[in-house]
Amino acid sequence: MNAGKEQVSIIRPPRGWELINLRELLEYRDLFYFLVWKDIKAMYAQTILGFGWAILQPLIQILIFTIIFGKVAKIPTDGIPYFLFATVAIIPWTYMSTSMSLSGLSLITGQNMLGKVYFPRLIYPVTPVLTKLVDFGISLLIIVAVMVYYQVAPTMQLLYLPLFILMMMCVPMMAGLWLSSLSIRFRDVRFAMQFVIRMLMYSAPIVYTASSIPETYRFFYSLNPIVGVIEGFRASLLGLPMPWEYIVPGLVVCIIGMVGGALYFKRMERVIVDVI
Amino acid sequence: MNGSKRDLAIRVEDIAKVYRLGVKDEMHDTFGKTVMSFLRKPLKNLKKYKSLYQFDDIDMDSSGGADRDDILWALRGVSFEVRQGEVVGIIGTNGAGKSTLLKILSRITPPSRGEIMIRGRVSSLLEVGTGFHPELTGRENVYLNGTILGMRKAEIDRKFDEIVEFSGVETFLDTPVKRYSSGMRVRLAFAVAAHLEPEILIVDEVLAVGDVAFQRKCMNKMQEVGSQGRTVLFVSHSMPAITRMCERVILLDRGQVAADGEPHQVVSEYIRGSRESAAEKRWEDLSAAPGGKVVRLRALRLKTEDQRTTDAFDIRRPIGVEIEIEVLEDGHVILPTFSVWNSEGINVCVAVDVDPAWRKRARPPGRYVCTGWIPGNFLAEGAFTLNTTLWLQEPVRNQEYHVTDVLAFHVIDSLEGDSARGDYVGDLPGVTRPLLKWETVYYEEGREVSRIGRAAI
Ligand SMILES: Nc1ncnc2c1ncn2[C@@H]1O[C@H](COP(=O)(O)OP(=O)(O)O)[C@@H](O)[C@H]1O
Ligand SMILES: [Mg+2]
């Protein structure tokens, strides 16, 4: 046969820390594609609204928040209409929270497959982060519609948006890597997830402004990368000055957290099948 | 095929796999409990949690591995080589480590010790239909399952029509798989797997599903894969399939290679070494044994001609059914009998003790061991169960004591050419498989030329 193409692979007991094999991951891009396709199709199968849910879900949340925090609690928003203020934050937040929870549970959800077939284990937590981008893309329509309604003209700040979309993907990726690795040990990750996500929502300026946090705590506050994502989205969409002091610390945490999460994941990967 | 000239496809060197027992269950405690126990016994717990991932405390290098009761050596010191194009069967009892070996070869779990070299692309099939999603249509599942098994989309595009044809579910291609019958699902799943074109194919006991006709189709496909010069490694409990398809068989026993070589020899060795599971039943407490005040059953046993207790028999050799009874009351004619049932629930035969020494004769109290011999070349291949009944006759009215499904055994044809199947290696139906006497008269242009007969035994 074609001896030239033949690859020789060696299987050994794993030792020490390992890095992620990006090339191997790339070889599985077709699998990524079909897994994402499966998730999307399975999610909207037999629903009347189908993709309409990707719009309806965040829209309802925006409405509720506008009523509770905008009209009833009258939370100050630096002069921005509350509906607009909440929209630009809730859309990325919905993406982050749903993909974070799916990614964190991905190894538990996929445990049947884990023991039966090999593909890079990293695919499990990465897939939801990609799948949910479709919903996110659709829900961007809400942002467009709301901005048109409030006649917010796009500014040059909009050019920063891709950076924040990237950062927005990094947050659930980081959380997913850590949570899925931990979920092998602790099954209560599953139960804690919803609770933690609700807490996280209040840890970021989604229903309130970042400026309402006292200056002395600002640095600690902005170590949370969700803060940076939300602030970044607001600034680039609404044409506000870029609050780098809220963004940079989170970005650094995010990068360190992702690398750490990947290393930890690779380490736990070895025992996943044996203990799950 | 000159084996020595072919290149190595797989080299397994001193592979061991250790599982830690007990820890697995404790691991799934809740976070709260873990925190509490960490607070109480921090050091001990830290060690326990580390132990799951690290086996530093275990002497991995000692050739057999130390025996400890908290760890399990699923494999220890397994070494073998497979040449390109070889079709190798792996057999062994449950828990011998077959699946573990295949999982290590397919990278699902890493070995604890040793090294494996693999040349070429590996596809493994440890389950039929891994990743099938009920909401997706047949077509979508072909793509999903195919990519999960390691195919590229372009590759599936190319083979799509072939896959669909093999599966025979053309008309349901755009129906969600959840509306398929389980048979259709298996067909489609196997069709995908059958069209993998790896250099090395690894298959666990997956062919036990599906109907007989489809199983045969699958076997043929695997044979075809083997004949195309690809390397195949597969686990099966079906000895006919193993001997028919493999050019070499590896026998695993408690995680070690017990035999490796020519299929018939290894299969025979497996049969000989089979552990005694359902081959014997003893009632230690006579008062609780089946029977009544006249007679009680002491033991039932299956044995070979050389008095070995076993539950696996060579199709050519007789099977001894031993019925041990204790007669407690004088003056009764007692008839031990047994019946043989095959796996389809058919009563193959009933045998009544006709030993002339005790015909129509009352048995005085004492212990009797009565053995009935089922001749060789009588039962077909397969699994059988044995029911025993003690009939009581004169002087009182008939009475019976039944014991059902206590003994079970296998009849295995090691395909050495001198059984009733001759040189035919395919599946043979039938409840019995007697070796008949055949004769042929040959006429050449109307003249009788020769009589060639072949005597039975
Ligand atoms: N994840 C696991 N944790 C602990 N023990 C395991 C695990 N997987 C398999 N074993 C044990 O390893 C041994 C070999 O199992 P296996 O390879 O499945 O055997 P086979 O396929 O030959 O029946 C068995 O005793 C089984 O209980
Ligand atoms: Mg098995």
Q: How confident is the model at residue B299 (pLDDT cuts 50, 70, 90)?
A: very high
- The more confident residue out of B408 and A208 is A208
* pLDDT (average), residues B341-349: 82
Chain A hits for B143, CB-CB cut-off 8 Å, are 34
Q: Is there an atom of ligand 1 within 6 Å of B96 CB?
A: yes
pTM for this predicted structure: 0.75
CA of B96 to the centre of ligand 2 (A): 8
**CA-to-CA distance for B263 and B420, rounded, in angstroms?**
19
| Ligand 1 atom at minimal distance to the Cα of residue B21 | 4
Ligand 1 mutation target, pool B19, B21, B233, B252, most atoms within 8 A of CB: B19
Which atom of ligand 1 is least distant from the CA of B20?
4
- Cα separation, B216 vs B210, whole angstroms: 10
pLDDT in the model for residue B28: 46
Chain B environment of A115 (Cβ under 8 Å)? 103, 108, 126
Which residue has better confidence, B63 or A209?
A209
- Which residue type occupies B149? L
8 Å CB contact of A1 and B109: no
Write out chain A's pLDDT in tens, 276 residues: 344 456 889 999 888 787 788 888 888 999 999 999 999 888 887 778 878 888 998 999 999 999 999 888 888 888 899 999 999 999 999 999 999 999 999 999 998 899 889 999 999 999 999 999 999 999 999 999 999 999 999 899 999 999 999 999 999 999 999 999 988 877 778 888 888 898 999 999 999 998 888 989 989 999 999 999 999 999 999 999 999 999 999 999 999 999 999 999 998 888 888 877
B64: pLDDT confidence band, cut at 50, 70 and 90?
A: very low
Q: Residues B75-125: pLDDT tens digits?
A: 999 999 999 989 999 998 878 999 999 999 999 999 999 999 999 888 888
What would the pLDDT profile of B249-269 be if each residue is shown by its tens digit?
Answer: 999 999 999 999 988 778 777
Query: CB within 8 A of A91, min separation 6: which ones?
Result: A58, A136, A139, A140, A142, A143, A233
List the one residue out of B148, B11, B25, B209 whose CA is nearest residue A116. B148
Strand, coil or helix: what is B233?
Answer: strand
Q: Is the CB of B97 under 6 A from ligand 1?
A: yes
Instruction: Give the mean pLDDT of B223-227.
Output: 79
Output the CA B199–ligand 1 centroid distance in Å.
Answer: 27
Q: Which of B439, B340, B339, B337 is nearest to B380 (CA)?
A: B340
Q: Do residues A250 and A223 lie in contact, with contact meaning Cβ atoms separated by under 8 Å?
A: yes
Decide which of B108 and B50 is more confident.
Answer: B108
* Residue to mutate, B51, B73, B100, B203, ligand 1, most ligand atoms under 8 Å from C-beta: B100
What is the whole-number distance in angstroms between the Cα of residue B101 and the centre of ligand 1? 10
d(CA B278, CA B306): 19
Q: Are B319 and B385 in contact (CB under 8 A)?
A: no
Q: Which of B12-26, B55-69, B342-356 has the highest mean pLDDT?
A: B342-356
Q: Between helices A123-149 and A52-65, what is the axis angle to 10°?
A: 60
Percent of chain B past pLDDT 90, that is, above it, reads 37
Residue nearest to atom 5 of ligand 1 (CA): B19
Pairing mode, strands B399-412 and B438-444: unpaired
Q: How far is CA B343 from the centre of its chain?
A: 14
Is domain B280-412 annotated with CATH 3.90.79.10? Answer: no
Per-domain residue ranges for chain B?
A: 82-273, 280-412
Contact A37 B144 (CB under 8 A): yes
φ, ψ for residue A9 (rounded to 5)?
Answer: -120, 150
Instruction: Summarize the confidence of residues B352-369 as an average pLDDT.
Output: 92
Q: Which atom number of ligand 1 is nearest to the Cα of residue B101?
A: 17
What pLDDT is stored for residue A46 in this prediction? Answer: 74
Q: What is the ipTM of this complex?
A: 0.86
Per the DSSP assignment, residues forming a β-bridge with B393 are B333
Distance from the alpha carbon of residue B94 to the mean position of ligand 2, in angstroms: 7
Q: What is the 3-state secondary structure (H, E, C) of A91-157?
A: HHHHHHHHHHHHHHCHHHHCHHHHCCCCCCCCHHHHHHHHHHHHHHHHHHHHHHHHHHHCCCCCCHH
d(Cα A59, Cα A52) in Å, to the nearest integer? 11
**A274·B109 Cβ contact <8 A:** yes
CB-ligand 1 contact for B17 (6 Å cutoff):
no
- Both structure tokens of B2: 């000159």
**In the block, residue with structure tokens 């390109």:** B84
Q: What is the mean pLDDT of residues B371-377?
A: 96
- Residue B153: pLDDT band (50, 70, 90) is very high
Strand partners, B332: B363
Would you state the pLDDT for residue B5?
47
Q: How confident is the model at residue B275, as a pLDDT?
A: 45
Query: Residues near B335 by Cβ (< 8 Å), separated by ≥ 6?
Result: B352, B353, B390, B391, B392, B393
Ligand 2 centroid to residue B95 C-alpha, Å: 7
Q: What is the pLDDT of residue B54?
A: 57
Residue B352: pLDDT band with limits 50, 70, 90: very high
Q: Do B106 and A117 touch (CB under 8 A)?
A: yes
Q: Parallel, antiparallel, or unpaired for β B347-352 and B333-342?
A: antiparallel
Query: For residues B307 and B304, what is the distance between their CA atoms, to the nearest angstrom?
Result: 5
Cis peptide leading into B240, omega within 30 of 0?
A: no
Superfamily name and number for B82-273: P-loop containing nucleotide triphosphate hydrolases (3.40.50.300)
Q: What is the pLDDT of residue B99?
A: 93
- Residue B61 banded pLDDT, cuts 50, 70, 90: low
What CA–CA distance (Å, rounded) separates B297 from B406?
A: 12
Which residues in chain B touch residue A7, judged by CB atoms under 8 angstroms apart?
A: 119-121
Q: Are B297 and B323 in contact (CB under 8 A)?
A: yes
Q: Cβ of A10 and B117 within 8 Å?
A: yes
Q: Specify the range with the lowest mean pLDDT, choosing from A154-168, B271-285, B412-426.
A: B271-285
Kindly list the residues from chain B whose CB atom is less than 8 angstroms away from the CB atom of residue A10. 115-118
Between B273 and A147, residue with greater pLDDT: A147
